[in-house]
A and B are shown apart, each in its own frame.
Chain A
Amino acid sequence: MAEVRDVSVKDVEEAIYKLALEAAYHLPEDILEAEKKAYEREKSPVAKKVLETIFKNVEVSAQEEFPLCQDTGLAVIFLEVGQDVHFTDGYLVDAINRGVERAYKDGYLRKSTCHPLTRENYGNNLPAIVHTFVVPGDKVRIIFDAKGGGSESMSKVQMMKPADGRDGIIKTVVDWVIEAGPNPCPPVIVGVGIGGDFERAAVMAKHATLRKVGEPSPDPVLAEMEQEIYEKINNSGIGPAGLGGLTTCLGVHIEMEPCHIATLPLGINIACHVNRHKEIVL
């Protein structure tokens, strides 16, 4: 029988605290690299200027006085828990929320959670949204995603018809991202979830936005679809900030799972050009 490993939730709280602060002020390297490559290829002078402003923004933010974006997001956490882990020193989700609350207070990050109907702001950015997966082993992997409201609002789940197939999926994603246009702060990263069921399609789509930008899916069929969608979106002309150009999308990432014979669920989640996510393994 495998040994059970104790992990203190206090360590989880500290990890969340650090990841939240780092995410708010430091853009992931792979995104910056993708933006620099796009800059080299870009032909529109306005788009080049917008990308230069984005690079300057990354520099200003790294001095940790101004977050990358004023919308420091809802705290979305993907938690992969090894099945041999035993959490000690309290309730895991309380610890996650404490880490989020402290980071958003100490880091001068915007508190963006509110009552859905009265719109009263809770003032603490809680609760965090936690997706937990049980995996083999005795480690805990934490991915922190600071998800902004502008790009999140340009996302959707559509229950497609099985007959829509590959081409129907491609058309739906491309049309949707083009319709969103300047709203989700292009250049965007497009996460797509195909299959599973209604809610799995959405979770896969969001999880897909966290992949290293532009790294193709290991499934060659999906990799080909990613490339086709990527080219079509970048041919839209929308450009950085929607002001025209060749750089509308930095990457398209697809995840797929089996689905019911009667369904073809499709999730589309858009991440903006400051796609803030950081991870750690405990």
Chain B
Amino acid sequence: MAEYKLTTPLTDEDIIKLKAGDVVYLSGVVYTARDAAHMRMVKALDEGKELPFDIKGQVIYYVGPSPARPGKPIGSAGPTTSYRMNPFAPRLIALGQKGMIGKGKMSDEVKQACMKYKACYFASIGGAAAVVGSAVKEAEIIAYPELGPEAVRRLVVEDMPLFVCYDSYGNDLYEMAKKEWAGKFSLA
């Protein structure tokens, strides 16, 4: 397991050195989007319109933060469950998206897209939302403000700790970790 410091936007070179289980400290801009925002982005593509941001090399964080208190850029901001974005992620990866941040399993189609187009799915710790929220330096709503917590935000993060979950070689950290620790509770 290696550790890397990376800054967005990510390149193919960044992605191909990452292996499932590696720890990444991510800095720079990440965009937030969940179900409702993804539905709108895909609809925009269907209608031949532009996405609210240039997706090439970008990382999308699946999160719907809690409201910011006065003087703070954002509230709590832990990952939401990623499988709900299964229908959308492969299409955006094909357009150049390099990473997704979330929690929980995604589909085989997402794994295939990560391999084909060189992208990674990063796992964050669900429920550690106060810790992540307090590490966000800037936040700005850039699209769909009427969606409230589901609006698309442009975040600036510094050394956001992530685990490489699906790499561009078809490896799956959740499966690997489960295999390694299965059956050991009774022995402990």
Contacts and interface: CB of A to CB of B under 8 A. Distances in A.
Contacts of A74: none
Interface in B142-188: 147-150, 161, 163, 173-174, 176-186, 188
Interface in B5-28: none
A132 interface: no
B72 interface: yes
Contacts of A236: 178, 182
Nearest to B75: A108
Interface string A250-282: 000000000000000000000011100000000
Interface stretch (B51-59, B110-118, B122-130): B122-130
A84 interface: no
A50 B104 CA distance: 15
Contacts of A110: 64-67, 75-76, 149
A67 interface: yes
Contacts of B60: none
Given A153-B81, A237-B179, A237-B183, A66 B130 contact: yes
Contacts of B92: none
Contacts of B125: 50, 53-54, 240-241
Contacts of A44: 177, 180-181
Contacts, number: 179
Nearest to A245: B181
Interface string A57-91: 10011000111111110000000000000000000
A195 interface: no
A41 to B, nearest CB: 6
Chain A: number of interface residues, binned into ranges: 35 or more
A280 to B, nearest CB: 24
A272 B104 CA distance: 13
Contacts of B80: 71, 149-150
B184 A43 contact: yes
Interface in B95-112: 103-105
A57 B181 contact: no
A205 interface: no
Given A68-B76, A108-B66, A61 B103 contact: no
Contacts of B176: 244
B43 to A, nearest CB: 13
Contacts of B104: 150, 181-183, 242
A74 to B, nearest CB: 14
Contacts of B83: 183
A56 B127 CA distance: 11
Contacts of B68: 108
A235 B66 contact: no
The 6 closest A-B pairs by CB, nearest first: A244-B177, A237-B181, A237-B182, A66-B130, A183-B104, A185-B126
Given A119-B36, A150-B81, A150-B103, 4 more contacts: A44-B181, A70-B133, A183-B103, A235-B182
